[in-house]
Each structure stands twice: as structure tokens, then as C-alpha cells.
Amino acid sequence: MSRAWNDLHAHRSKLDGVTLRDLVRAPDRARDFVHTVGDFTVDLTRHLATPDTLTLLMALAREREVEAMRDAMFAGEPVNTTEGRAAMHMALRNCSDRPMQADGQDVMPGVRDVLRHMQSFCKSIHDGSWTGATDRRIENVVNIGIGGSDLGPVMATQALRPWWTSGIRAHFVSNVDPSHLADTLSSLDPETTLFIVASKTFGTQETLANAHAARRWVTEALGSDAVSKHFVAVSTNADRVRDFGIDTENMFGFWDWVGGRYSMWSAIGLSIAVAIGFDQFEAMLEGAYEIDQHFRDTPIETNIPVLLGLLDCWYRECWGCQSRAVLPYDQHLHRLPAYLQQLEMESNGKHVRIDGTEVTHGTAFVVWGEPGTNGQHSFHQMLHQGTTMVPCDFLVAAQSECPGSDDRQAMLLANCLAQSEALARGKTLDEVTADLAKTGLDDEQIRELAPHKVMPGNRPSTTMLYPRLDPTQLGRLIALYEHRVFVQGAVWGIDSFDQWGVELGKTLAGDILPGLTGDAASGDETTLRLVDHLNTLGQSRI
């Protein structure tokens, strides 16, 4: 283990007995642990960390060359080492005139061309000049994709629901389970429905299976000539797009240096732009650009993504934490935890370093969560009194986007702040005993009940505050998480941009599929037995 890690482990032992109750009362705590970008505030005061902890974490960042790796990423170097690619998603939201390089070329002219294409397409949908095969306006847009081609767009369109353009409804289909597409189409009219098929290679198995089913739905109602009026593609494979029946003039491209889980800023975000309007989509890009500038230019001592990423490594390595809860007190962010699961767990769920050697520490939290206040009535019990410490992210807007919210927004805010305080301070046996004594219970009843009401406290959390969840704030929030994940990977020495772990299951599924469609399957003994059993069950229903 390195010197920086050894110093952090030694420091960790000195924090035994230190409480968050005491830490939050320390002079100048807010000065060292509260940071802002514009009107977006990140409060780190409820972390099990002192100024000395931050100093040691900065030493770790410099030992692991986080700044140099960040600069290499922004310079367009192939930081995705196993695939020999740059990771230049920042170029997709570059709102300056600054060139951005990948493979030695400025990528910005191509990025701007695609954005202009997206803008023109959105205008044609919104002003009614794009019509379906029967000359009716488009009212419903269905995005067919999976993974990064679904999770980012569906999260963002749900987050920005109050900003949807009048007359356009967005839908998303990802699961190859037939019910997902069937349920989505059940209330739609083929004449007023447009499909966006999002697949870089136009060969993703689940996406193409759903796209072909959607095409049958359209052609059965409107004829085969209707495909070009009811389907567009986000892809780089013109031949496959053309073979499907989509006019390649309606194909929106992107590049190898755009990873799937970082692609909502690209043409993969076309469904977002259609839903909220291109101007608002650009506002989302501008918010992300602000965080890119902050991450690139701000000293690491006050750099929010760096601080968050280092604290993640601190809890993962020195405190043994294995999961982090994401708790948006904002119903419109109900898909954020699912989006972050891919961003973080696909990026950093690795067991080897960049050089191919085995890691000797934990990587990647299990990321999970639900919106507040719903979670308070389910899993918060474990957060408060369970035996596992789970760092939490609380996110909340000061203002509701919903008219007539009366006192419910204040109630939401109070609950958010109360949960983070309760996790930090807990409730001691003495405090519980004193409260129970006021209820009239006798001493024996108090002794029996009191231990069950004690809460250990010292459960760390981050609170993120913003005035309202508008496109700019959403852009800031997601870019912040992206760079936070990058910092984790840099510290752990892993490639945060490949995802080889998803390949084996896909390959095996291809081997097993024939056994479920009338031919011979391959697989181990258990798989073959289960295939036979499933075939029997399927026949019994018939």
C-alpha cells in the first residue's frame, strides 16, 4: 500500500470516538466543507472528515496523479486504455470556441453539425412540418434503446417533465421483454407516433428486436412505405440503418470517443431535445459545461468533483463502506439512482488496474436509492439503525416546479434536512431514556424499550441544494457525477471507460437462444436443464 493510503489508514484510526455532532460544530466548518458553482451548493459538513483528512486526501490525489489524468482526458488522450480511445464527452457540451481534440483532430465542427441537425429536426416536429404517413402531426415519440441509449434520456426527460413541449409526449422502451413495448404502444396511434432507434452499431440485440417489432406495428397499420416517416436513427452504421428502411438523411451520428453512459449529451439525447425543446436541451449542455470548467480549472482543494470522488475512496477503503444511497427529495429525479448505477458501477466495477494487475482494495459502490419521502417509509430504517454504514447523497430544490404545491414543498424540505441531521447526530441511550421518562413509563419498561430506540448516528451524507430543477441545474448535476466517477477511477488506477464485463453474458445468450426457438442450445448442465424446463412450461401454456 502506498504512503498516502498508509497515512489515511493511520488517520482513520484517530477518528474513532470523533462524532459528527462535534465535527459540525467546529469553527469554520462551512468554510472548508461547503462549495458552490453558481447557485448550486454542495454541503460536505456532515462527513467523517476533518481539515487534516482533506489534506491527506489531497496528498492521495497528487500521488495518484489525478490532476494529470484529468488534463489528459481533456486533451483528448486515449484514457480509455483497453480500447485505445479518448473519452471526450465534454466536447459535446463545449459552449466555447475552444477546439477540443480526439485522435489529433478538432472534433468540434462535427459536434456542431450534429447539434444543428438535431435542432432542425426538433423544429420540424414542434412546428408540425414533419408529419407521419397520413400527414398527421407527431404527438408521441418513442425512444428505443438500452443501457446508455436509454437510462440517460429517460432520466433527463423525467427530471425535466415540467419543461416538456406542449403536444409532444416522450416514451422509452428498453427491455426486450415483449410487455415493455406492448404496454407502451397500447395507448398510442401509429399515425402520430415517431420512433427513435438509438444504437451506435445498429446491431444491439435487444434494441433491434424491439425496433423490428415496432416496425411491424407501423407497417401493419400504415404499410411498408410508412417506415421512413415514422422512424429515425441515432447510429453510426448507415448501411444497417438504410436496410431497416430509415432514410439516412434522418440518421444522427456520434463517435467512438462517446461512451454509452456518457452519451445523453450527444444525438442519443435527441429524445430529450424533442421532449423539452432544443433551447432547453442547450441549457442543459451549458450547465454541464460550467461543471467541466470547474473540474478542469479549479484547484483540487476546492474542486467539487475531486472532493466527492476522494471522499468516496475514503469511505470505500478506510471505512469499509460497500454501498452509497442516492436520495433525491425531488420526484422528478426518481430515475436518477438507476442512471447513476450504470454511470458508476459500469465505469468502476473492475477487478484489475489499467496495467492488468489485480486491485488490492474495493472499487465501485453499489449505488441505489429512491426519492424522499418514500424511502423514509421503507429502507431508511436500515440507514439509521442497521449495522452497515451507508454514505448518502441528499438532493433537493428550494422551489417546486408544480403550481399549487401549498405547504408540501416546505414539508419535503424539512424532511430532507431532518433525515441528514438524524443520520449524523443519532440519538443516544441517555436521550432516549429521558424522552421515555416523560411518557410515564416505569423504569423497567424504559430499560426494555430504550435500546430499540437508540440510533448510533455518525452516518455521513452530502447535501446538494439548488433553487429549482431546471435544465441548467440538471446539466450541472450529471456532469458533477460524471467527473466524480472519473476521480474514483483515477485513484483506484482502473479504466473507467471500458465495460468488458457486459460481454460474456451477451455471448452466452446467443448460444442459448437457439434452444428456446426450436434448435439446439449450448451451455452447461444447469443451463440445458433449465432450457428444457422452460420449453416444457411454454408448451403447457399452449
Residue 462 DSSP symbol: E
The residues facing 173 across adjacent strands are 144
**Strands 34-37 and 40-43: what pairing?**
antiparallel
- Which of 430, 434, 414, 427 lies closest to 454, judged by CA? 427
Which runs of E-coded beta strand occur in 265-339?
A: 323-329
Are the beta carbons of 114 and 267 closer than 8 angstroms? Answer: yes
Are the beta carbons of 371 and 328 closer than 8 angstroms? Answer: yes
Is the C-alpha dihedral spanning 233, 239, 243, 245 positive or negative?
Answer: positive
CA distances for 336 relative to 166, 268, 291, 388, angstroms: 24, 17, 18, 23
- Which of 385, 402, 280 lies closest to 331, judged by CA? 402
HSE-up (13 A, CA, CB side) for residue 35: 20
Residue in the block written with cell 466517477:
485
Which runs of E-coded beta strand occur in 120-223?
A: 140-144, 169-173, 193-198
Residues belonging to the chain: 542
Residue 429 grid coordinates: 441511550
- Which of 90, 14, 450 lies closest to 305, judged by CA? 90
Query: DSSP assignment of 526-539, as one string?
Result: HHHHHHHHHHHHHH
> Which residues have a Cβ under 8 Å from the Cβ of 51 and sit 6 or more positions away?
32
What angle separates helix 3-14 from helix 304-318, to the nearest 10 degrees? 70
Q: Give SS3 for 396.
A: strand
Q: Angle 116-118-124 (CA atoms, 0-180°, nearest 5)?
A: 105
CA distances for 21 relative to 33, 287, 345, angstroms: 15, 34, 32
Tell how far CA 416 is from the center of its chain.
Answer: 21
Query: Which residues are the active-site residues?
Result: 346, 377, 506
As a whole number of angstroms, the distance between CA 274 and CA 264 comes to 13
- Which of 464, 305, 46 lies closest to 313, judged by CA? 305
As a whole number of angstroms, the distance between CA 101 and CA 426 comes to 50
> Which residues have a Cβ under 8 Å from the Cβ of 65 and sit 6 or more positions away?
490
Residue 166 grid coordinates: 406542449
Name the phi and psi angles at 363, rounded to 5: -135, 150
As a whole number of angstroms, the distance between CA 365 and CA 393 comes to 13
